[in-house]
Structure 1
Amino acid sequence: MNTALQSLIAEATRYARFTMKKSASLAPIMMASTEKGIILFSPNGLSDTGAKDDFANKVRLITASYGASAVVLIVESWITKAKADEPLDALTPPSESYDREEVVVLIGQAPQGNITHLLPIHRLGNGKFWNLGDAEDMPADSFEGRFAGMLPPKPVDEKTRQMGKMLLEAMGVKVTPLKGR
């Protein structure tokens, strides 16, 4: 597996643990590995389908414009899992399921493959954050959906990268380098 992606997943895990411990919540964020180091982007929020699509499209533009070799999306989410010997209830949204689990999801992608980890969120009886559990690998033969294909399928030339950066700037997208490593 891609060592850049493994390193980025490790950094994302440290970030998630630190942020959850400090503030008990986590804003969605993208970490991308570039030749100049790790860069970050966080949207204003993911309140609806349009905002989620917008985040995914901006991440695609960022990874292409900055020549990212790997990317990880870090988001808080509700999930439901199929119980042993039972089919998954695909009709009930996880946010409405009695069997839901609260997790931090790390969705990592590189040309060589994907890594998805779930970090279970443990809360006290009063709802306050207590701890993040150990990472659970979420194996998958394929990955589909709005957060799939975050990296360009082929390398982007320098002229197109510069145009992408100008477009990001015009859209008000702030990409920042990761500091303090």
Structure 2
Amino acid sequence: MTQMLSSIALMLLSATSSLTVAPTQVVVERSQHPGDALRSRLGVVLPTADTMIIIYGVAQHHTRTEWSIVALRSKDGKWTVERAGEEGPGLLRIDPHPLSASKTALSSDTGRALDHLLIDRQAYLEKVSGGDTPIGGYASTMEIITPKRTRTIDWTGKLVGTLGQIVDTVISPS
């Protein structure tokens, strides 16, 4: 029995994504996110909202670049995207330094498109697979938090499908 429980625990730990559906009355709380350490180092507070998307990424070769992008939906339905990042040593010996931080309001059309993607059931069921990270490639984590659901995924390279559209909308809004 203990062996079986250990096997189940190991399978759960090795999964590349997780999905939690919460009852409507319960507020979904976010988990510890890899970008939290970066934001803490930079002295940048993580904003909070009932609906938010948190994306963290890291790439390393000659230098190591980390970034944290947070998209927040206000109670009146407007979306803002906050970015913070840091570049530091990879193969080169350089001192870490912050990258330009920014805060951008999404257009109404882009915000509606993002709302539409977040209510798409596929975003919470879609399979995610990734391979090895190539030299200089990046690895990312995204956490989607809504009042009803949360999903955390890890991937390398370009994410496709509904989840990829969410990432593209947040990272490069049109």
Shared topology, TM-score over 0.5?
no
Q: Which has the higher strand share?
A: 2
